[in-house]
Amino acid sequence: MTHPQHRSTWSSRWAFMLATAGSAIGLGNIWKLPYMIGVNGGSAFVLVFLACIFLVGIPLMMCETMLGRRAQRNPVDGMQALAQEAGTSKAWRWVGISGLFAGLLILGFYSIIAGWVLDYIVRAAGGEFTGIDGAGATAKFETFLGQPLRLLLWHSLFIAMTLGVVSRGVNAGLEKANNILIPALFAILLVLVGYSMAVGDFARSVVFMFTPDFSRITPVAILSALGHAFFSLSLGMGAVMVYGSYLQRHVSITRATMIIAVADTSVGLLVGLAIFALVFANHLEPAAGPGLIFQTLPIAFGSMPWGDVIGTLFFLLVAFAAWTSAISLVEPAVAWLTENTRLTRKQSALLIGVGDWLLGIAVLLSFNAWQDVRLVFGLGIFDTLDKLTSTIMLPLGGLAMALFAGYFMKTRQVQEELGLGPSGYGFWRFLVRYVAPVAIVAVFLYLLGIIQG
């Protein structure tokens, strides 16, 4: 395959790994995984989640990175070039197009939650949680959601932060931001875990998360764990593909993706351990649901030594995680615009930024003025975007990529990128051809309500 000239590449293997880990580690790990563990009964869910990461997540991440590096193009032109190379229909470019839109739609609501996080950094730093009780924390959160201008301020800032990085390009933007933010994120995580070991009920948290209780493994737990494994590793929308397209040829995709997946999963589990240690020490409810970090945790911070400092650090950690993920949500679209139109990268980023800023306004209004607006299936604006992307577009995108790599690409083409031994390749191919598609279709049908767990 001929490759476009003058395309940026990561300056090292590390740059790729930090950026892709940055994409993977996000609100999904810190906001969603802990509350899903809480709601689904702890350890049983953790076990299934780990199995899903290893059996479906890692093979698919290898697959997506492989597609990107082979194509050396944005996901739309990349899928088209790969389809031509494999001698099949150009229609595969629709996988890229759908992924590109999925990224833009996800940022529309991701930015709003990230905005809440930014607001909570300031609140924690200002000592607003000191002595707060459950009713106080809930009232604070609900009042906040009823203030469109305040939400708008944070949403605007977050969009500017995200597109600001992307506009600087692969090396001066994406790579530099991740080189700073991801190590900072890990440093804060260490402090947080250390603190929760010292002050929280860490032992109980470990028991809660890691004592296997097989009786609680239900079909619902399995399917939601798989869906989340997918979202958590940023699979199915071209983020990993576009990052893979900037990867130098000599880097081992297998090694790099395994390290990234393990890092992503470990961060989710460590944050979970820390959060539950604080929750248990304060006799709070682990199954609190989506409000866990905004309504339950502030109560813990408000009553513990150094709670203001730790609370501030915690929300800073979440903000860094969300920021590095958001960058990867828009990069496919910005790369496509820069590679296909006369717009410069800066202009492309501005265009996408304005579009997502407008979309976000509709989302933030759905928490107050437009609370009663229903789009499809009786869902509000926020829920429609969330469900449409994470339950339909991402799984379909991942399925298409798995089928393309598993059934349409020639062994030689795949192996030029993956370079696995014969048994390793056979195993990977089995997972991508059979295990991943069956699992994705099952989740897909379940989430659409066709199979009721």
- 3-state SS, one letter per residue, for 347-411: HHHHHHHHHHHHHHHHHHHCCCCCCCCCCCCCCCHHHHHHHHHHHHHHHHHHHHHHHHHHHHCCH
Residue with tokens 């996080």: 117
Q: How many residues does the chain have?
A: 453
DSSP-derived letter for residue 212 is -
DSSP string, 11-49: SSHHHHHHHHHHHHSSHIIIIIHHHHHHHTTTHHHHHHH
Task: Give 25 or 281: the residue with its C-beta nearer to ligand PHE.
Answer: 25
For the bound state, the minimum distance from the C-beta of residue 102 to ligand PHE, rounded and expressed in Å, comes to 8
For the bound state, the minimum distance from the C-beta of residue 448 to ligand PHE, rounded and expressed in Å, comes to 19
Task: Give 114 or 310: the residue with its C-beta nearer to ligand PHE.
Answer: 114
Residue 196: helix, strand or coil by DSSP? helix
Cα 338 from Cα 247, distance rounded (Å): 18
Task: Give 24 or 381: the residue with its C-beta nearer to ligand PHE.
Answer: 24
For the bound state, the minimum distance from the C-beta of residue 151 to ligand PHE, rounded and expressed in Å, comes to 20
CA 65 centroid distance within chain: 16
Note the residues at the interface with ligand PHE (CB under 6 A).
Answer: 23-24, 26-29, 231-232, 234, 237, 239, 325, 328-329
DSSP-derived letter for residue 248 is -
Q: What are the angstrom distances between the C-alpha of 196 and each of 246, 272, 424?
A: 38, 11, 40
Task: Give 105 or 279: the residue with its C-beta nearer to ligand PHE.
Answer: 105
For the bound state, the minimum distance from the C-beta of residue 60 to ligand PHE, rounded and expressed in Å, comes to 12
Task: Give 165 or 414: the residue with its C-beta nearer to ligand PHE.
Answer: 165
For the bound state, the minimum distance from the C-beta of residue 330 to ligand PHE, rounded and expressed in Å, comes to 10
Task: Give 124 or 239: the residue with its C-beta nearer to ligand PHE.
Answer: 239
DSSP-derived letter for residue 433 is I
Contact 159, 357 (CB under 8 A): yes
For the bound state, the minimum distance from the C-beta of residue 319 to ligand PHE, rounded and expressed in Å, comes to 12
Q: What are the angstrom distances between the C-alpha of 131 and each of 121, 142, 173, 215, 358?
A: 17, 18, 41, 39, 38
Kindly state the tokens that stand for 451.
């199979």
For the bound state, the minimum distance from the C-beta of residue 203 to ligand PHE, rounded and expressed in Å, comes to 28
For the bound state, the minimum distance from the C-beta of residue 32 to ligand PHE, rounded and expressed in Å, comes to 7
For the bound state, the minimum distance from the C-beta of residue 352 to ligand PHE, rounded and expressed in Å, comes to 15
For the bound state, the minimum distance from the C-beta of residue 390 to ligand PHE, rounded and expressed in Å, comes to 8
Task: Give 349 or 420: the residue with its C-beta nearer to ligand PHE.
Answer: 349
Contacts (Cβ under 8 Å, ≥6 apart) of 79: 67, 71, 92, 93, 94, 95, 96, 404
Task: Give 117 or 409: the residue with its C-beta nearer to ligand PHE.
Answer: 117
Cα 11 from Cα 174, distance rounded (Å): 11
Task: Give 237 or 414: the residue with its C-beta nearer to ligand PHE.
Answer: 237
Task: Give 23 or 40: the residue with its C-beta nearer to ligand PHE.
Answer: 23
Task: Give 103 or 437: the residue with its C-beta nearer to ligand PHE.
Answer: 103
Cα 346 from Cα 333, distance rounded (Å): 13
Provide the residue type at 288 as one letter: A
Q: What are the angstrom distances between the C-alpha of 198 and each of 278, 305, 315?
A: 10, 11, 20
CA angle 335, 336, 337 (to 5 degrees): 95
For the bound state, the minimum distance from the C-beta of residue 87 to ligand PHE, rounded and expressed in Å, comes to 30
